[in-house]
Structure formats: structure tokens, C-alpha cells
Structure 1
């Protein structure tokens, strides 16, 4: 994209990100006010207020402000999807991906599942009912401007709320650690001790043990115990020793040392079949699959369509009572139904990487959200119905205006090795 066009696009995106942020804050206030009405449905706006603030408002605020003050280069810390500093990078590995998989599996670690609707529900059920889930997914953390390539974990006591886990990132070609040391992989290992609420957003999340060095050493010990041929080199004082907090608000501390595990040849020493590499396939596949936020926007559009169908008889009765004319009823119904159809069309065109469609989608959603927020909120059950419609518009705007949706429509290369390598080295 030419520089001038990119600057215009940046300005447009910034405007809609700001509009989305204002609408989310506005919606949270409306939900809080609605919760003051004492009735059997009061708990709905209370839950809605919590969900909007914890999962929409605060994360978007963090995204905006962390882009201003958090360094966008390697400082030995990962970042959360909201831009907050995450877990420390406390391990490095040498070897091929097959070597890493062989070493970790020989040490009794399980490859974590990807985050999907099915795996998320399975994770929740495992936590609530204390069921074992050895491949439970881990949340995404960012390094080198991308999520982890894969993660491994070990359950403790058959309970997914307690587990050892470690995320791995393939380093970009030619990239060196501070000090000029070359490695193939870096990793962040921590121990989940329980489930709780994030200090920074209020979201339900795992709480980690503050002693990240103990988990780091545990990972190294399990790998070297299973395969004594695995080598080890430690960079003393890789970073200063520090106390801090991760993206969930949990305390962390480290002595600043960085173990480098030499897993070269682990795949050949493995008695079983060679592990199948997963990160390259995942990197290629993600260029074929739209980001989760954009897919979620499609689900919200579908819910908005269902809401429209359910409310259509009510709209007919209201228009007929106030205007009486049949043609007025037809016009009103056609206008009412046109919005979900327009949203569906623009969403499909956004999936097809049409930039103009995404821009028009954000304009339409912004007008819809602002006009809906300006309307007088009725009482009773209709209050919930109306606020639900506003929430659908605001959440859709939040998803479509996000950086992941923009990256999707801006991607012009065809999926392939070149596109993957460009992404990995960014």
C-alpha cells in the first residue's frame, strides 16, 4: 500500500477505534443505570455491565495506551493480546521443531490444544467438575508481533486449574539474543496455581505462581532427566533480577538468568515415531482462516438477524397502530430488515478482503451504535431486548475495527511460504 494511502488508512482506523471505545464506555454506563431498576431481570444488565467492562472496555483501553508506552521490541517479556506485558521469556532452546516435540513428549509434557469453541467449553468443564484435560489450551501471548507457535503443559492432580505450561516461539531468521547469542527458539514457562480474576481487567483467568524461576528450572530438569544427552548452557544475568506483574496482574519474580537447552538430535534419539511439526502448518493455515475476532463478528451479525426476525411482529404492530397505512408498514419492515442484510453483505465482503467494505461496515456500525445509544431506553423486558441490540452493534464494531481485522483485509499476498516467512520475521 502506498505511504499516503496507508496514512489515510491509519487515520480512519484510529477514528473508528476511538468511536468503538466511546460506544463501549457509553454502553457500560447504560447497562449500569439499567441495573438500578429492581426487578427479576435486573441481574441481566448487571452481568452485561461486567462483561462489557471486563471483556470489551478495559482490554480496548489497554490496547490504546500500551501502544503508546510499551516498547515494541524484545525486552525479555511477552505481551498479552491487550498489549500488557506478559510472562517473562525465561528459556531458550536449540534444535529443530521435531527435536523440541520429541524432548518435551519424552519428558511427559502434553501438546496444548488450540483455542476453539469446543476446547474452551472442555476447559471450563474440566475446571468446574475437576476433570482431567491434559491438552487444555493456553491463552495467547505475543512475541515478535505474533502468538506462540505451540505450547506444552502438565496437569497437576488431574485438575486443569493447576498446571505447568510453557509457550514456544521460533525466532526470526538471523535474530540474536542480546549479547549476540544465537538460538532457535525462546520460551516462557510459568505454573498456573488456580483460577481467579485478572487484576487489570476482571476477566476470569489462570493465576500463576510468582516464582517463575522455579518453573523454568522444573522444565529444564524434566527434559534433561528424560534425555541425559540434552545439553545446557546458562546465560548469567541475561536480565536484571526484578519483581513485576504479568498481564493478569499476578506477581512475578526472577533472578534474570536464561538457560539455553540444546535439544539437537532429540528426535533421532526418541524411541517412538518422529513427532509431526505443527508450527509451520499453523502459520500457513492462519493465512487461509480469518482472525477469530472477524469470525466472531459474523456470529454477532447472525444474532442481530435472529433478533430482527423476533422483533419484526412487534414492529408491525407498532407501525400499524401509529400510522395505519399498509404501505407504511411495508416500508418500515423493509427498513428494519435491511440492516442485518447490509451487515451480512459487508461482513462477507470484509472476509473477501475488500477494504472499502470494512470501512463502510465500520461507518454503518458506528451510526447504528450511536443512534441506538441516543434512544430512550424503555422499561421492563424491552429494556433488555434493546440493550442487547445495542450491545451486538457495539461488539461488532469492536471486532471489525480491531487490528486483526485490519491485518486480514490488508494482506495482499497469496498464502504460501513467502507470506509465512514474512510474518515470522516481522
Structure 2
């Protein structure tokens, strides 16, 4: 029965609530986790399933939470807003949500992760998480430049294709004259080029007035007409060249859109439930956590500052509570990231003990401590990074002592390109 309660909860969140809708070595990341369900159970997901419709959500949940118990090594995130088609959502609204509610709807995610419990045969731990951004920041200047370039390439494609339909277009020179004629007619209001994705009429006319003709001339100059090539084939080749350029730019844009600038405010919640016998009627609430971060990153992306508020409470042999408040500042260059991270922790641990008379008591120990680290990520090659961390760790609530932190390592990254379709 409880299996269906969990499945029902996920289906409710994905269907009703929003129906309208690391390369760095950092021991204690000062950010809200992108996959909180995995963080709360202490595992790292190698791959995350992201079902894109409600039937896929149901199928995935039934596979993870079957009548035989909980399957291990499950990692899944449900984004309720994206379970439905959004034909009216423009690309601009996608990259720059117009309100806090839009930002939350677009970034809200429900995560689930499972793993085996160490030292317990057939034991399973289940993590449930929520995350969202209230302020997702804004696109960088580089991203905006790439978007504008793709949009203006669409204008040039429209001009070249339209010029071919004019009479007496027999040579590349005639094509330039035809484009010039179309531009003049469009500026005078006699011809409409039709809607250009992402551009207002004012932006189109501004481009036509200033750069459109020279851009077209440059493309034609750099791509000569082949001997025996018809004008239709030549124009189609020009259009293909421009389209391929747009695809290349779109791939670059896909990565750059992740580099948000300005104010970024995000939060996450997660809880862990243990099932020692892998039966839904035998569960133990183990841990709960909440994260909130505020980041500011300037347009030049030469660094950023992040403020963190984090609360963690666990129920194991003892009850421990941590409240963290932290700040991280990074300085970024082409080849390295140099950062400082400082966290204040108020810790409390509650456990059963005996007093001097050997009577059972509940003992509570508390401790306030700091952790600070200096972090360096150095880019050795395009895919190899040297990481170094040195600093002082938190002190224990029981012993009151904290150790020295030193960590050195290498990260290896393999780039992967995917094509983004921009409408």
C-alpha cells in the first residue's frame, strides 16, 4: 500500500500542482544540489532518467518501486512543467522567464534515488528531493550575441532566398542587387519579409538598415559560384552554408546558456527513508535536509560570490542537527579558478547515555565551528584539470577538534556536443 502512496505522491506533484504549468573538487559544495535525492542518501548518480510524459513517469516509478520492493541504483528526476507540450512558450521566455512563478515552474524538479544500505542484506535507502530556482539569473552577453547572430543569419537566408525569385537573377552580382532591392522595398514598407523567429520588426529593420547588405556581400564573396552550377543550386548551397553556421553556433549556445549571470537564487529539499528489509511496511525515516543559495555573477564572468544556508537533521543511533551558513568567492580566468570558502556550522548531537549514577539519560552536546578552504582548479588541457584544496575542517560536536584539509587530484572530462533546435 505504501508503495502506491509514494507513487501517488509523485504523480500528484507532476500532474496537479503544476498542471498549468563537477569539475571542481569541493568537499562541501556551496550551492543547492541539482539532484538532491542522490545527495541525501550519499550516492553519486552516473546517469539520471528524465521521463518526458506522464505514462513514462508511471512506468519508471512502478519499475523502481515494485511489489518486490525497491530496486537499487535508481536515479530519476521529474520536471512537471515539461511533461506537457508547450507550443506557446517562446525561446525568449524559455531562456529569460518573465516572473518568479514562471522561473519556479520551469525549473521545479522532483527527484528520486535509491541504493543499497551498507552492511544490511537486502536493505534499501530511498531519497526524495525537490528543487527550483526563484531567480535563474540571465543569459550572458556572449549567449545574447550568439542568439542575435543566429537570428540575423535567418534574415540573410530569407533575403537570399527571396532575391532568387526576382526576375533576371543570373549571376552572384545579380543576387546582390536583388538582395539590395528587397532591403529597400522592406525599408519602404512595400515588402514584408515575414516573421523572423525571436526578432521584433524594429530589430529586423535596424539590421536591414545597417548590416544586412554587407553581410550578404561577404557571404557571396567568400563562396564563389562553381563552374556549371545553376543559380538555384548556388543559392541553395549558400543557404546550407548559413544554416550549418547557425547549427554550429547553436551547439556553442547550448553550453553558454548554462553560464548564467546576475542574481541566481535557488533552493532544494530532500529526505531519506531506509527500508532495512526492503519491505514498504518496515521503514525508518533517516534524514532531512534543506538548501538555499544566493549567487551573484557579473557579466564578465571573471568570478562569483555565493551565500549558502543549509539545514541537515539525521535520525540514526543518535539525532544530529547541523545548521550551516557559508560564503564562497571565486576568481575565474581562462586557465584557472581560485576560490575561498568559509562555512560557520552550529552542530548538535542528541544520544542516549548514562549519568554518574548509571541512570539512563538523554545527552545533548553542541558545538559551533568554522570550516575554511582555499581551492584551485587549474586547466592543464581542454579535458584535464588539476584540483587542489587546503584548509581547516569543522570540529566535532563530541571531541571539539577539527583536522587539516588537504586534497589534490585530477579531473578528466570528455566534451560531448548535442544540437539544439532553436525556434
Q: Which has the higher contact order (CA 8 A, sep 6+)?
A: 1
In our comparison, the structure showing a higher alpha carbon Rg is 2
Sort the TM-score into its range (normalised by shorter chain).
under 0.3
The structure with the largest helix share of the pair is 1
TM-score, length of structure 2 as denominator length? 0.22
Q: Which has the higher strand share?
A: 2
TM-score normalised by the chain length of structure 1? 0.21
